[in-house]
A and B are shown apart, each in its own frame.
Chain A
Amino acid sequence: MKFGIVVNEGPYTHEASDSAYQFTKAALEKGHEIFRVFFYHDGVNNGTRLTVPPQDERNIQKNWTDLAETHNLDLVVCIAAAQRRGILDENEAKRQGKDANNIAPGFRISGLGQLIEAGIEADRLVSFGD
């Protein structure tokens, strides 16, 4: 079965990203396909490479980056939500005249259409949030 996953909250403050990650991992281990993981609202904050969590805690951004690399996942950060919250890739930083970018490996910035597409193409869409 093809799953679409939506993550509506950022790392650590809410359990949403952890729950989504564990669900996604389990789905992959069971042989399902993950069509896309879409990060919206504060969920875009999962996609910054600048977090430095304590060594004895899970690294949520790294969890997603590693999972994406192992399974060739499509992790999409919503551009509108990202602009509001300061998550930029190199192109966006140039376009917006900002002096830095911070997107984490494995994540890409794209439009809300990617969320709708996930709803259309996936067999099941599951949202994790507040």
Chain B
Amino acid sequence: MTMDEAGAPNGEAKKFLYVNRKAPYGTIYALESLEVVLIGAAFEQDVELAFIDDGVYQIVKGQETDGIGAKNFSATYKALGDYEVTKFYVEAESLAERGLTADNLMEIMYEDEDDDWAEKPSIKIVNRAEMAEIMSAQDVILSF
């Protein structure tokens, strides 16, 4: 049986969504899921990231980890633009519930090759209903 309607015909990129719902450092899921995104970039699929619930903490600015002896890997999110991972959907309700706003988030940019390499923000704040629609449009959803 070949791919169904939701899958992509052979050769066409599939839509992959990485769902991040956990804060960094308390568990390893944020770090190890980022490692999947980096490796996955080589496969030229259509990759998007979703930050929901405590996952929004993965991309807040001002992370200082010396005190806990852990490696601060937050800068890696900023590098994802170079790997053509340019869509970071951040859920508005998840921010608000945690007393956060867009201003608390890191500045994550990418260079748009279709617009003379203009620098644009990768982060898009979406509401819950929009996030649900984004999820419904994916071929593969990865959760960690």
- Which residue numbers of A lie inside 8 Å of B, CB to CB? 1, 6, 8, 40-41, 80-81, 111-113, 115-117, 119-120, 123, 125, 127, 129
Contacts and interface: CB of A to CB of B under 8 A. Distances in A.
Contacts of A125: 140-142
By secondary structure, the B interface counts as: mixed
B54 to A, nearest CB: 14
Contacts of B36: 40, 112, 115-116
Interface of B: 1, 3-4, 7, 14, 16, 28-29, 32, 35-36, 39-40, 42-43, 45, 140-144
B43 A116 contact: yes
B14 A113 contact: no
Contact of A127 (B4, B45, B142): B142
Given A81-B32, A116-B36, A123-B3, A8 B144 contact: yes
Contact of A113 (B1, B39, B144): B39
A116 B1 CA distance: 21
B93 to A, nearest CB: 23
11 contacts: A41-B28, A41-B29, A41-B32, A112-B40, A113-B40, A116-B43, A119-B14, A119-B140, A119-B142, A120-B43, A125-B141
A33 to B, nearest CB: 10
